[in-house]
Protein backbone atom coordinates (compact mmCIF):
# COMPACT_ATOMS: atom_id res chain seq x y z
CA UNK A 1 0.00 0.00 0.00
CA UNK A 2 2.75 2.45 0.95
CA UNK A 3 4.65 1.73 -2.28
CA UNK A 4 1.50 2.38 -4.30
CA UNK A 5 0.99 5.74 -2.56
CA UNK A 6 4.63 6.64 -3.22
CA UNK A 7 4.22 5.58 -6.86
CA UNK A 8 1.14 7.76 -7.33
CA UNK A 9 2.92 10.70 -5.65
CA UNK A 10 5.93 10.23 -7.96
CA UNK A 11 3.69 10.17 -11.05
CA UNK A 12 1.77 13.26 -9.90
CA UNK A 13 4.99 15.22 -9.33
CA UNK A 14 6.30 14.35 -12.79
CA UNK A 15 2.93 15.21 -14.35
CA UNK A 16 2.91 18.58 -12.57
CA UNK A 17 6.46 19.27 -13.74
CA UNK A 18 5.39 18.58 -17.32
CA UNK A 19 2.29 20.75 -17.06
CA UNK A 20 4.05 23.73 -15.48
CA UNK A 21 7.24 23.16 -17.49
CA UNK A 22 5.39 23.43 -20.77
CA UNK A 23 3.51 26.48 -19.46
CA UNK A 24 6.83 28.11 -18.61
CA UNK A 25 8.38 27.17 -21.95
CA UNK A 26 5.51 28.67 -23.94
CA UNK A 27 4.84 31.65 -21.61
CA UNK A 28 6.65 34.34 -23.58
CA UNK A 29 6.38 35.59 -27.11
CA UNK A 30 8.86 32.92 -28.19
CA UNK A 31 9.20 29.36 -26.99
CA UNK A 32 12.01 29.07 -24.42
CA UNK A 33 13.17 25.45 -24.10
CA UNK A 34 15.98 26.36 -21.67
CA UNK A 35 13.53 27.80 -19.13
CA UNK A 36 11.30 24.78 -19.55
CA UNK A 37 14.16 22.33 -19.05
CA UNK A 38 15.62 24.29 -16.12
CA UNK A 39 12.27 23.87 -14.39
CA UNK A 40 11.47 20.30 -15.39
CA UNK A 41 14.75 18.42 -15.13
CA UNK A 42 15.44 18.85 -11.40
CA UNK A 43 11.82 18.10 -10.49
CA UNK A 44 11.64 15.01 -12.69
CA UNK A 45 14.91 13.64 -11.34
CA UNK A 46 14.04 14.35 -7.71
CA UNK A 47 10.53 12.91 -8.16
CA UNK A 48 11.64 9.75 -9.92
CA UNK A 49 15.20 9.02 -8.81
CA UNK A 50 15.10 10.71 -5.42
CA UNK A 51 11.86 9.22 -4.23
CA UNK A 52 12.72 5.81 -5.72
CA UNK A 53 16.15 5.91 -4.09
CA UNK A 54 14.73 6.76 -0.68
CA UNK A 55 12.02 4.15 -1.08
CA UNK A 56 14.65 1.55 -1.99
CA UNK A 57 16.70 2.33 1.12
CA UNK A 58 14.00 3.06 3.69
CA UNK A 59 11.25 0.68 2.58
CA UNK A 60 13.29 -1.90 0.69
CA UNK A 61 11.12 -4.94 1.38
CA UNK A 62 7.83 -3.16 0.63
CA UNK A 63 9.29 -1.67 -2.58
CA UNK A 64 10.58 -5.05 -3.76
CA UNK A 65 7.26 -6.70 -2.99
CA UNK A 66 5.29 -4.03 -4.88
CA UNK A 67 7.47 -4.64 -7.96
CA UNK A 68 7.25 -8.41 -7.68
CA UNK A 69 10.97 -8.75 -6.94
CA UNK A 70 12.82 -10.69 -4.27
CA UNK A 71 13.38 -9.03 -0.93
CA UNK A 72 16.76 -8.30 0.62
CA UNK A 73 18.76 -7.86 -2.58
CA UNK A 74 22.08 -6.06 -2.21
CA UNK A 75 21.58 -4.85 -5.78
CA UNK A 76 18.47 -3.01 -4.63
CA UNK A 77 20.54 -0.98 -2.18
CA UNK A 78 23.18 -0.34 -4.83
CA UNK A 79 20.49 0.79 -7.28
CA UNK A 80 18.93 3.05 -4.63
CA UNK A 81 22.28 4.72 -3.99
CA UNK A 82 22.79 5.21 -7.75
CA UNK A 83 19.37 6.87 -7.95
CA UNK A 84 20.21 9.15 -5.05
CA UNK A 85 23.47 10.13 -6.79
CA UNK A 86 21.49 11.39 -9.81
CA UNK A 87 19.26 13.31 -7.43
CA UNK A 88 22.19 14.84 -5.56
CA UNK A 89 23.88 15.95 -8.78
CA UNK A 90 20.65 17.38 -10.22
CA UNK A 91 20.22 19.46 -7.08
CA UNK A 92 23.86 20.62 -7.12
CA UNK A 93 23.68 21.57 -10.81
CA UNK A 94 20.42 23.45 -10.30
CA UNK A 95 21.48 25.49 -7.26
CA UNK A 96 25.00 26.10 -8.57
CA UNK A 97 23.36 27.43 -11.75
CA UNK A 98 25.68 25.43 -13.99
CA UNK A 99 23.17 25.76 -16.80
CA UNK A 100 21.04 23.72 -19.12
CA UNK A 101 23.85 21.67 -20.64
CA UNK A 102 24.92 20.48 -17.19
CA UNK A 103 21.29 19.67 -16.34
CA UNK A 104 20.95 17.74 -19.61
CA UNK A 105 24.12 15.80 -18.79
CA UNK A 106 22.65 14.65 -15.48
CA UNK A 107 19.31 13.99 -17.17
CA UNK A 108 21.04 11.95 -19.89
CA UNK A 109 22.68 9.72 -17.27
CA UNK A 110 19.39 9.43 -15.41
CA UNK A 111 17.37 8.52 -18.50
CA UNK A 112 20.05 6.02 -19.63
CA UNK A 113 19.59 4.21 -16.31
CA UNK A 114 15.80 4.27 -16.64
CA UNK A 115 15.73 3.03 -20.23
CA UNK A 116 17.60 -0.08 -19.15
CA UNK A 117 15.58 -0.34 -15.95
CA UNK A 118 12.42 -0.23 -18.07
CA UNK A 119 13.87 -2.98 -20.25
CA UNK A 120 14.58 -5.14 -17.17
CA UNK A 121 11.00 -4.60 -15.95
CA UNK A 122 9.60 -5.49 -19.39
CA UNK A 123 11.66 -8.68 -19.54
CA UNK A 124 10.50 -9.55 -16.02
CA UNK A 125 6.88 -9.05 -17.06
CA UNK A 126 7.19 -11.16 -20.21
CA UNK A 127 9.63 -13.90 -19.22
CA UNK A 128 8.78 -14.25 -15.54
CA UNK A 129 5.08 -13.34 -15.85
CA UNK A 130 5.67 -10.64 -13.21
CA UNK A 131 2.49 -8.64 -13.67
CA UNK A 132 2.81 -6.49 -10.54
CA UNK A 133 1.56 -3.00 -11.37
CA UNK A 134 4.84 -1.31 -10.49
CA UNK A 135 6.67 -3.77 -12.70
CA UNK A 136 4.54 -3.55 -15.83
CA UNK A 137 4.10 0.23 -15.74
CA UNK A 138 7.84 1.04 -15.73
CA UNK A 139 8.54 0.55 -19.45
CA UNK A 140 5.49 2.60 -20.41
CA UNK A 141 6.18 5.39 -17.93
CA UNK A 142 9.78 5.58 -19.14
CA UNK A 143 8.61 5.86 -22.75
CA UNK A 144 6.13 8.61 -21.80
CA UNK A 145 8.88 10.47 -19.94
CA UNK A 146 11.15 10.30 -22.99
CA UNK A 147 8.32 11.36 -25.31
CA UNK A 148 7.56 14.39 -23.17
CA UNK A 149 11.20 15.45 -23.04
CA UNK A 150 12.08 15.02 -26.73
CA UNK A 151 10.59 18.32 -27.92
CA UNK A 152 12.18 20.67 -25.37
CA UNK A 153 15.55 18.88 -25.62
CA UNK A 154 15.60 19.03 -29.43
CA UNK A 155 14.45 22.64 -29.42
CA UNK A 156 17.14 23.54 -26.88
CA UNK A 157 19.87 21.98 -29.03
CA UNK A 158 18.46 23.81 -32.03
CA UNK A 159 19.09 27.11 -30.20
CA UNK A 160 22.76 26.18 -29.84
CA UNK A 161 23.29 25.64 -33.57
In whole angstroms, give the CA distance from residue 160 to residue 68: 44
pTM for this model (two decimals): 0.91
pLDDT tens string 78-131: 999 999 999 999 999 999 999 999 999 999 999 999 999 999 989 999 999 989
Amino acid sequence: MLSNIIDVFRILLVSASFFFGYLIGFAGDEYDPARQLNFMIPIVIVAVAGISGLEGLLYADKAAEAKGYEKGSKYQKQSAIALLSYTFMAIVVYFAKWGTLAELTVFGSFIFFFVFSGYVHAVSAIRDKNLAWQNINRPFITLMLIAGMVYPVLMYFKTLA
